[in-house]
Amino acid sequence: MNTNSFYRPVSGLDLLTRIDNDPQERGRIILDTLARIEEVDPEVRAMTVVARREAVMASAAAAKGPLAGIPIAVKDIFDTDDLVTSYGSPIYEGYQPRSDAAIVTLLRRNGGVIVGKTVTSEFAYMAPTVTRNPCDMGRTAGGSSSGSAAAVAAGMTPFAIGSQTGGSTIRPASFCGIAGYKPTFGMLPTVGMKCFSWSFDTVGLFAAGVRDVAYLAQILSGRQLAVDGVTASPVFGVPENYPWTEPSANAGAALDTAARAIEHSGGRVRRIRLGSWMADMITAHDTIQSYEAYQALGSEYDHHRADLSPKLTGFLDRAAAVDTATYAKARVLMDQAKDRLSELFDGITGLLTPSAPDEALDGLESTGDPAFNRNWTLLGCPCVNVPGISGARGGPIGVQVIGRPWEDARCLDAAAFVEQAIAAAAGRHPTMLAANAAPL
């Protein structure tokens, strides 16, 4: 990694252990969090607003529940009744909602302490943000959940809330070297989240590692998702072909490295082919997202167009041409594709693909390409970015574990197996496992 790295993720499970052993740790953890934000955020630029120290300390002292006293950052497309919510747009500068988004309410009910809001691309689309990658300050942190991924990677908070409509959780997690989890569509509530596409918008979670993010997911969903052990001998399907775009040699090497680690740890890798119907989903995603975004952002487009970025304006200009019949046809294709998902998961625990076409891009002019994410978002599949591999250019490069809808526990367990396998292999090297390491 670059020498100007601010990369220092903190395990939320480790912090919870500290609190369990000594309740006085709550206050120290909050103070450490605020100090870390003050120290690094002027450079990383992950936060849009930070809660007042007195308010955060009071919340931590009064908190009850499994997350009691744990600091959490929330992407600035989710309403918060005590912090400004601007959705990444000057249209909403200074806007103060009267109520919390449902996911924020869940965090607070379970003892989570909201320490601030994180930078988002404008309305969670693809416009670049000011956030820098803590692993290399000259690179993008991805998008649209750039601030949430960067806040966790820089050790500002152990957990952060993001979202995914195309690839806005998995890709930033890959770029920033942390775990990112996009649950099955509909598992976590999106009420109070600024809508972009109601068929795809999904709450995303960020944490240092897979076990951390699985624990947070269990608390927020009420489902048994925490990883206590890992399944023996999981089988991963690795595509031989990609109908959207081929991964870079760098991403391909990272995938091969993960596959070798899996096999060395007792898992199996099976080569599969993605059917031609997967190619149809690329256009279907664009059609459905465009039609819905043109309606969801109708007021902003009709009355505040001058305050929209050229990237979003151009997208909505094109979206206006999508008629209802074309949209309906795309939804039929989506439903048919969901019925064919069993073909992909026949005899395998989960799919294994690159999380992104490559490492994070240099500069802040692009948030990267969601090619390896959007079809799985359309299909509603749970997806996990597994960190731990270093690419040829020295930055993190993740692999993505994909599960069958509503089999999130199995998906997270499989991702934990991959993470553990990568870590075991990395133990043979002085630092993060390199994508070009010798065969295990």
Decide if 234 contacts 415 (C-beta within 8 A). no
Pairing of strands 47-50, 389-390: unpaired
- The encoded tokens of residue 61 equal 């002292």
Pairing of strands 136-140, 132-133: antiparallel
- CA 79 to chain CA centroid, Å, is 19
- CA 119 to chain CA centroid, Å, is 13
DSSP characters over 252-277: HHHHHHHHHHHHHTT-EEEEE---TH
Closest by CA position to 172, among listed 185, 162, 158, 184:
162
Catalytic residue among 168, 174, 221, 355: 168
Decide if 372 contacts 247 (C-beta within 8 A). yes
Report how far residue 278's alpha carbon sits from residue 312's, in angstroms, rounded to the nearest whole number.
Answer: 26
Catalytic residue among 59, 75, 197, 199: 75
Active site residue 168: yes
First to last CA, the chain: 23
Active site residue 144: yes
The secondary structure of residue 131, as a DSSP letter, is P
Report how far residue 356's alpha carbon sits from residue 273's, in angstroms, rounded to the nearest whole number.
Answer: 19
Decide if 401 contacts 349 (C-beta within 8 A). no
94-97 contact pairs (CB < 8 A, 24+): 97/192
Locus of tokens 């019949």: 325
Catalytic residue among 59, 121, 144, 290: 144
Tell me the catalytic residues. 75, 144, 168
